[in-house]
Structure 1
Amino acid sequence: MNVTLRQLQVFLSVAETRNFSRTGNLIGLTQPAVSRSITELEAQLGLQLVNRTTREVELTDAGHSLATRLPRVLDDLDSTLLDVAGMATGRRGRVRVASSPTLSANLMPECIALCHELHPGMELMLLDRVQNATLASVLSGEVDFGVVIDPEEREALTCETILSEPFLLACPKEHRLASLQQVRWKDLNGESLVLLDHASGSRRLIDEVLARLGVQCTVAQEVGHSTTIFRMLEAGLGVAVIPQMALPPQGFAGDSGLCVRPLTPRMDRQVMLVQRRNRALSPLAQTAWQLVREQAAKLAQASPITSRNSRPAAGPPRA
């Protein structure tokens, strides 16, 4: 079916004006050219779209159906073309980013807001997914890049560390460990832990640290979100090892009954930008990559714990 974009645009204008001459004046065609365009479209579809009279044009049932659905199709096409144009100009279009939950909640909102402010032509679309799903969306090409915790498998990825942050202990204020200014990992021996489940990028790292230091704990509960961890702790179900970014932005409220303590020796998780290896970022995606990196650096500088070990990152990878 050899239907042209021009024919569809002419038909949509005719559907709005119900007059060939007015349509011609609006889009810069003669009345015979408008009529010919509609006739050719009808021939391609094998359907009559309009009933022609001497004064106006009436839509047939098929014409009504096409006129109702066509605007959304043309809008989608415009959006797609803007995306592709953005790849060339680096100024306008859509960038898709996948991110793990704690990063989606504590890093990406500021990035999206900053994108609106600094790059009004860029639409930063966030997919909030668990770590494995985030990595899968990067490898499949569903997104331009991802923001994750240090992945175990990197062979198919290009990675850049943008932030190092420590694991901390969260516990009820009346717990025995709350009286310490710093808690050794070995002090966790025998404790009941409430931890993020294995869908989290942090869980593998926490398990590795506990095993390496010979800490024997009972995992009392495994949950998917840090907010659930805090409710579990408030109910007296144990203590938790959490990444610093999982803390509420203003810390624990005075009436929460919880506190946080540094764990020694300090063990960090690495927050990384990842993209599929040997796949070049578009100019627009490179701009978004740079924006996320810079926002992560600001987050590190604002934290008295993280800033001690933060390092400047390299430029965005290029294939």
Structure 2
Amino acid sequence: MKIDTLGVQAFVAIADQGSFRGAAERLNITQTAITQRLQKLEEYLGVPLIERTTRSMNLTETGRIFLPQARRLLAELSAALIEIRETGMAQRGDVSIACVPTVGVQYLPRVLRAYAARYPHNRIRILDHASSAVAQAVLHREVEFGIKIAGEHHPDLQTEPLVADSYVLVCHRDHPLARRRRIAWRALSDYPLILAGDISGNRALIDAALDGSGIELHSFYEVQRSSTALGLVAQRVGAAVVPALAIQKDAYPTVRAIELVEPAITRSLVLVTRKSASLSPAAQALYTMLANSRDGNVKEILNPAD
């Protein structure tokens, strides 16, 4: 059903002003326009709302009953529009995002703290998924935007670079490699490793980078989350290859992180949105803060000065 708000507005103005001329002046339109709007509303309703003669103008019984309802309708519409405008200007509202789990360890929290300080009333829902699931969540409108590993994606999605993240070896401080500052990937062949499973985008990226190099990694334990790998390392189960962003400062005092070289393998994290999407003001504010943080150094995030 199409609601004729202009006609309702004209009817209320005529009733309040007591004349078509007064209503036209109040709405800053011509008398002809005010008459046409009322006529259109009456034609739609199928009943007259105002009795008009050359000398007088009075509400019909239907018009008299409808007037308070019309006033309430316009007041509610005005209040709703004001609320939307003020919410947009204040960038208030709830936000849903998806991200790969390692982003939620160090990188995302720092941005969220700044966001919460600026927009303390906004609630944020975070879905931590594998990279492919992040893309699906954005595509299917489960979230407004996401953070995933760069790579091929659906043509209806678009990405924006966020941060580069290198892979490191993590091991217990009693491990034979714990005193090394850097180590070549080839040297890992002699040790049982904890590696990401096939569901993780990290495994595919590492396998592709090492393809053709002759380097063979021995996966004794397979996990889906880097947090699980770090827990196993802390209990001396083995050494693991994880993204640098997965390491939470001071969470595991007995765990050491060692730079992996020859080759140096990094992954690029990107912001992902639907091409046709128009983010809510609250989500746009968070997206902008994340985009503006993309020049941040991963080492600075892992070892903040404050």
TM-score by length of 1: 0.61
Q: Do the aligned partners of 2:167 and 2:244 also contact (CA within 8 Å) in 1?
A: yes
Gap regions ≥5 residues in structure 1 = 1-32, 38-79, 306-319
SS of the residue 1:271 aligns to: strand
1:218 shift after superposition:
1.6
Residue of structure 1 equivalent to 2:289: 291
Q: 1:40-189 counterparts in 2 under 5 A?
A: 88-89=88-89, 91-120=91-120, 122-189=122-189
SS of the residue 1:189 aligns to: helix
1:149 shift after superposition:
1.8
Q: Please point out which of 246, 255, 260 is paired with 2:257.
A: 260
Residue of structure 2 equivalent to 1:247: 247
Partner letter of residue 294 of structure 1? N
Residue of structure 2 equivalent to 1:15: none
SS of the residue 2:268 aligns to: strand
Q: Please point out which of 261, 271, 274 is paired with 2:269.
A: 271
Q: Do the aligned partners of 2:157 and 2:273 also contact (CA within 8 Å) in 1?
A: yes
Partner letter of residue 155 of structure 1? P
1:143 shift after superposition:
1.1
Pair 1:299–1:249, CA change in 2 (3 A): farther
1:215 and 2:215 matched: yes
Partner letter of residue 135 of structure 1? A
1:121 shift after superposition:
5.1
Q: Do the aligned partners of 2:234 and 2:252 also contact (CA within 8 Å) in 1?
A: no
Pair 1:156–1:83, CA change in 2 (3 A): farther
Distance 2:197 2:293 in 1: 27
1:300 and 2:291 matched: no
Pair 1:87–1:157, CA change in 2 (3 A): farther
Distance 1:179 1:300 in 2: 22
Pair 1:193–1:125, CA change in 2 (3 A): same
Partner letter of residue 257 of structure 2? V
The CA RMSD over aligned residues, in Å, is 3.3
Pair 1:88–1:178, CA change in 2 (3 A): closer
Distance 1:135 1:165 in 2: 19
1:239 shift after superposition:
1.9
Distance 2:190 2:82 in 1: 58
Pair 1:188–1:200, CA change in 2 (3 A): same
1:296 shift after superposition:
4.8
Distance 1:166 1:155 in 2: 27
Q: Do the aligned partners of 2:105 and 2:248 also contact (CA within 8 Å) in 1?
A: no
Distance 1:96 1:197 in 2: 27
TM-score by length of 2: 0.64
Residue of structure 1 equivalent to 2:35: none
Distance 2:213 2:82 in 1: 53
1:170 shift after superposition:
1.1
- Which has more radius of gyration? 2
Q: Do the aligned partners of 2:144 and 2:283 also contact (CA within 8 Å) in 1?
A: yes
Distance 1:98 1:225 in 2: 15
Q: Do the aligned partners of 1:169 and 1:263 also contact (CA within 8 Å) in 2?
A: yes
1:262 shift after superposition:
0.5
Q: Aligned residue pairs: how many?
A: 228
SS of the residue 1:287 aligns to: helix
1:127 shift after superposition:
2.2
% identity of equivalent residues: 26
SS of the residue 1:93 aligns to: coil
